[in-house]
Amino acid sequence: MPRAKFMISAFFAAAVAVQVAVVCGGGVLTLERAFPLNQRVELEALRARDRARHARVLQNLVGGVVDFSVVGTSDPNAVGLYYTKVKLGSPPREFNVQIDTGSDILWVTCNSCSDCPQSSGIGIELNFFDALSSSTASLVSCSDQLCASVVQTAAAQCSTQNNQCSYSVKYGDGSGTSGYYVTDVLSFDTVMGPSLVANSSAPVVFGCSTYQSGDLTKIDKAIDGIFGFGQHDLSVISQLSSHGVTPRVFSHCLKGDGSGGGILVLGEILDSSIVYSPLVPSQPHYNLYLQSIAVNGQLLPIDPAVFATSTNRGTIVDSGTTLTYLVEEAFDPFVSAVTAVVSQSATPFISKGDQCYGVPTSISEIFPPVALNFVGGASMVLRPVDYLVHYGFVDGAPTWCIGFQRAQDPGVSILGDLVLKDKIIVYDIARQRLGWADYDCSTSVNVSITFGKDEFVNAGQLSVSRSSKIALFKLIPLSITLLIHLSLFIRFL
C-alpha cells in the first residue's frame, strides 16, 4: 500500500489520471478524481482535504496530547483553587470544573439539583447538565457492566426503583456530592503532531450531581463540578487511555503569582530538570515515599516511620487541596525550625492558631529554603512563598503565616497547590512515577507524543521505534502554539 507523508504535495495528488484500473486477484478497482479536471481547486482546499484524511488516519494511533486551559490560583485569600473547562454533550456545552488529582470521577451539576448553588463568587456563570438536551447522552443502568465494577469500589450504588447507577463521593474537607452516572461525549482538540490538531471526541462516563454538601454549597467559590484525575478505571484519564486517545500520563503547571492560570496536558511535559520518584503501588491516590524534611539544609529530627504508607497512612499529592498538611510528628519540628531561623529578623506571633510573622523586608531574604526528600534521591525544594501565605499587615508590617497545616487525619500528609504551584508536575501512571521541576508556568512547555506501536521510521531520519519516538512541540498557557522542534516527515503505512 502506498505510503503517505505528513506533508503531502496536494498538487501532485490532484494531477493523477482521470481513471486508473487496478487489477488485484481478478477484481478491478476504479479510481476516480476527487476533483474534476476542468474545476479549479484552491490549494487550501486540497490542504484541508489532506488534513482531514490525516486526522482520520491518526485517530487509530495512540498518543495524542489533549491541552486544557487553566484558570484560578493557589492563593487562599482569592480563588484558592485551579479549574478548567470541559465540553460535554451534543451539542457540546462548557462546564468549569476543579482540577483534582485526589479523586477519581468527573462530575458536573445536574439541572435537577434544587439545592445546588445558582451563582458563583469567582466570576463564572454556572452551567447545569441536562441529559435530555444532549442527543448523545444515556444513563448508566444497574445492569450495565460498568456499574457492576464501580459498585464494588463503594463509589456507586444501584437504585432498584429507577434502575439507575448512582454515585456518592465524600471529600477530605467534609464536603460531598451524590447523583447518577451518565455516558456522553467529551469534545476536545487532540494535538497529533507538529501543525496537526484534530477535532476529537470520545464517550466518557461521568456523574450528574443532584445533591451537594459542605463547601460545595458555598456561593463564594461555587463551580460546575470536579474533574477527578485519579488512577481508578473510571477517571477520565483512564477512560481516554483505554480508548487509545491519550497515553497514561498527564501533567500540569500551575502558575502561582499574579492572576494564576497555567497548563494542563493529557500527555507528558518534558524538561531536563525534572526529577522522578516512584509512586507507592496499590494506593487509591498518588502517594509518594517521603523520607525526610530539611530546613536551611539541616535535616529535621523526625522519625522516618511517621511517613510510612499503608491503607490509611502516607503522603498524597493532591491538586484539589489548597494548602499543605503535615503529620503532627513532622509539623511541629518544621514550624520550630523555621521560627528559629527567622526569629532575629522577623517578629513571630500566633494568629488564630497559626504561626505568623511580622516581616520587615522580602521573605526571600529572611526565610530559609525547605527540602522535601523522597525515595530515589528526588528532592522538592521549596521557596518561602511555597510554605508561607500572606495575610495582610499588622502595625504596617506585612504578615506572613505558615501555610503548612497540622494533618487532619493521623498519619496522612497532603501536598496541595501551595507547594505544587510554579512547578511542572508529571503523573506518569504507565511507569508508576511522579516527576517535578521548578518552572515559570506562564511560559510555553515542551510536550512529547508517541505515535503508534512497534513501527519504525525509515533510515536516515530517526532510528527509534514509534512507540518510543518523541515529537517535541510547545504548548502555551490558555492557547496552543505549535513550534516545531524537530523537522519530521512522519510516514504512515
Active centre residues (catalytic): 100, 318
For residue 326, with 0-12 CB atoms within 10 Å meaning exposed, 13-18 middle and 19 or more buried, which class applies?
buried
Helix/strand/coil percent split, the chain, to 5: 15, 40, 45
For residues 125 and 127, give the distance between their C-alpha atoms in angstroms, rounded to a whole number: 7
Residue 304 is classified by DSSP as G
* Cα separation, 424 vs 252, whole angstroms: 6
Cβ within 8 Å of residue 373, ≥6 positions away: 290, 291, 292, 293, 294, 379
Alpha-carbon gap, residue 188 to 289, rounded angstroms? 35
Side chain identity at 118, as an amino acid letter? Q
CA distance 238 to 429: 9
Q: For residue 165, give the nearest of 132, 143, 133, 134 by alpha carbon.
A: 143
CB atoms under 10 Å from CB of 242, counted, come to 12
Cell of 260: 494564576
Contact call for residues 474 and 65 (beta carbons, < 8 A): no
